[in-house]
Amino acid sequence: MGKKCNAPPECVPDYSKDEAYLKTVIPTRIALFESIKGQQLPHRQSISGNPIKYSSFTIPLNYSGMIILRNGSVKDGKKWISTPLDIAKGISKDWGENALISKVNGVLWDMLRPLEGDCEPKLFKFDSDEGRDTFWHSSAHILGQALEIEYGCKLCIGPCTTRGEGFYYDAFYGDLGLNEDHFKQIASGAAKAVGEKQPFDRIEVTRGQALEMFSENKFKIEIINELPDDKTITVYRCGPLVDLCRGPHIPNTSFVKAFACLKASSAYWRGNRERESLQRVYGISYPDQKSLKDYIARLEEAKKYDHRELGKTQELFFFHPLSPGSCVFLPHGARIYNKLVEFIRNQYWKRGYQEIEKQEFGLKPMNCPGHCLIFDHRVRSYRELPLRLADFGVLHRNEASGALSGLTRVRRFQQDDAHIFCREAQIKDEVKNALEFISSTYEIFGFTFDLKLSMRPDKYLGDLETWEKAEADLTEALNEFKKPWEINEGDGAFHGPKIDISVSDALNRKFQCGTLQLDFQLPSRFNLAYSAEDEAKKERPVMIHRAILGSVERMLAILLEHYKGKWPFWLSPRQAIVCPVSEKSEPYALQVKDQIHEAGFYVDVDTSDRKIQKKIREAQLAQYNYILVVGEKETEAGTVSVRVRDTRDLRDESIEGLLKFFRDEVAAFR
């Protein structure tokens, strides 16, 4: 088990053909789990039964926050006996049957895990982030069970996906390569687990017990050995699967009424190409079949509007093997790219940002250090703060070749990166201003968005008092912003708390693009300072990292799919096309084209010998926003017949009226 095997395939045990793994390793692991569980029960029973009180309990209300309930049917419980499920059943039959997870005094808690003392529980169904993440994490265990039983693989990690839909499990299979042909067998194993209504049992183990339990799996051993000494190690069991996991989980496997495998791909252990090659199976699950059918339908819809295919069809960009991960924008793609950058730059002018002139010296992965150097290149005064620096400089990151994916994951990109240097007293106002900037931008794009305040992680830099002050400032700013937001415990950056912004597109997919991060550490590491009112006194600025588009490349891809290739006029690379009815009208058509071009709009003219209906059809397929038909009548009157991209409606318009209409469309971001 110690070394990676580079010998021929026959040196790798093929557990899909050998029943030894199923007959020895799994039963031994289960026996050890049950033994430890049995040893812990007497202790729990000896301290159980004492009354505990629920100071309050909360359930979500219509996505808009939490409502505190006190209900006579919910009675205070008993220590080490009562569970969150008892509370759920006391609320209503619906909650008793559909509550998936609880949060007890801020800690996520299994519904069947006994409560250990007085507490404030919160309950969540599938319609919450906590509920969905737990549901998909538990589904990953069901997937892992099917994979281990069917193929005898060595399980590695099985989380819900970071994109917020579904889950995956990485495992080592030796020489076996999984593909769609295996999905039916995997789904059958998952269905068996669901049908058995397997509870998710939890135990706490010592490091030694964990090492013994997973002695046959070097990947789990590596994880266990890297856990900090003060970390509580937990193990979960559902049916034959015993897995190292911090949890929590849904009550039992029967909650997963709909399950499907989506795809299989290769992956490296720990994301390191020098390590073992693994197989990753992606899955999706729901509490009902209709939701799964709707999801599959959305996937099929999304495939039709994949930005990589639309990029080819609309001749926007391409990639070349000579420079993998570096997008080459074609003229029409460059138009959109430049419009996005121009839009943000215009906003910078209005909102008091100073843009830094581009000056490239080498490859850089981020703009933050450079902005610190700019702040520090001369003595700064408190009168200059807040100082808002913005940068569209080119960034490079060495993404693994297997992770490259169109415009969504590249090696060369630009960000609408900005850093705000301010005093501690200015944090709240600067965060509110940035939130308003984000909100107005996403409204223009037609995005809705969610806000999460990510709090101090386990490993953080700086002192606790500074962190608590920063978290309080962000909390106050979010409250005054008056949009719903949630707390994301322990998910802040190591250098400071942050606000994560997830946008939802027209296909109801979530993407994280914008971010707001407080940073007390970088100013300290660069020894940044400014003169206070008392010029003899120096104070340290606070740094706010801020992005709205994020990567311009990635945002372009998201928008291309969001609009399904039908760009709004203000952002469109093909705003209008003039279509003469016949050769007689071509001189006038060219004149119209020149007038529109001189007014600053993207316009083409179709002087081919095709029939007018064919020209119109081709223009519609090319996604021109407006098709301007000109014939003898229009030539004599000095007008154009305007046809909108997706309708048959026609209207006559003078050139002056048309240009005014175009300007109004751009001004309104339509």
Active site residue 415: yes
DSSP helix/strand/coil, 229: coil
CB atoms within 10 A of CB 647: 8
DSSP helix/strand/coil, 604: strand
Per the residue annotation, which of 237, 409, 419, 554 is the catalytic one? 419
Per the residue annotation, which of 498, 546, 554, 615 is the catalytic one? 498
Active site residue 419: yes
Q: How many CA atoms lie within 13 A of 350 on its CB side?
A: 11
Q: How many CA atoms lie within 13 A of 535 on its CB side?
A: 2
Q: Counting Cβ atoms within 10 Å, is residue 470 exposed (0-12), middle (13-18) or buried (19+)?
A: buried
Contact 523, 513 (CB under 8 A): no
Active site residue 562: no
Per the residue annotation, which of 89, 270, 397, 469 is the catalytic one? 397
Helices (H), 68-202: 84-91, 93-98, 129-151, 183-195
Question: Tokens 């959305």, residue?
Answer: 298
Active site residue 417: yes
Active site residue 11: no
Ordered strands of the 101-104 beta sheet = 66-69, 57-60, 121-124, 101-104, 107-109
Beta strands in 341-484 (DSSP E): 354-355, 387-391, 394-396, 412-414, 417-422, 448-454
Q: How far apart are CA 40 and CA 159, in angstroms?
A: 28
List the structure tokens of 635: 């030539």
Active site residue 545: yes
Task: Please state whether 16 falls in left (phi above 0), alpha (psi between -120 and 50) or beta.
Answer: alpha
**Which secondary-structure segment (H or E) carries 659?**
helix 655-667
Per the residue annotation, which of 417, 473, 500, 519 is the catalytic one? 417
List the structure tokens of 582: 């016949």
Per the residue annotation, which of 153, 238, 245, 368 is the catalytic one? 368
Per the residue annotation, which of 202, 218, 545, 615 is the catalytic one? 545
Q: Is the dihedral of CA 219, 220, 222, 227 positive or negative?
A: positive
Nearest to 253 by CA among 269, 267, 237: 237
Per the residue annotation, which of 209, 314, 414, 415 is the catalytic one? 415
List the structure tokens of 413: 């990109």
Q: How far apart are CA 90 and CA 164, in angstroms?
A: 31
DSSP helix/strand/coil, 539: strand
Active site residue 368: yes
**Which secondary-structure segment (H or E) carries 173?**
none
List the structure tokens of 406: 């169109």
Residues serving a catalytic function are 368, 397, 415, 417, 419, 498, 545
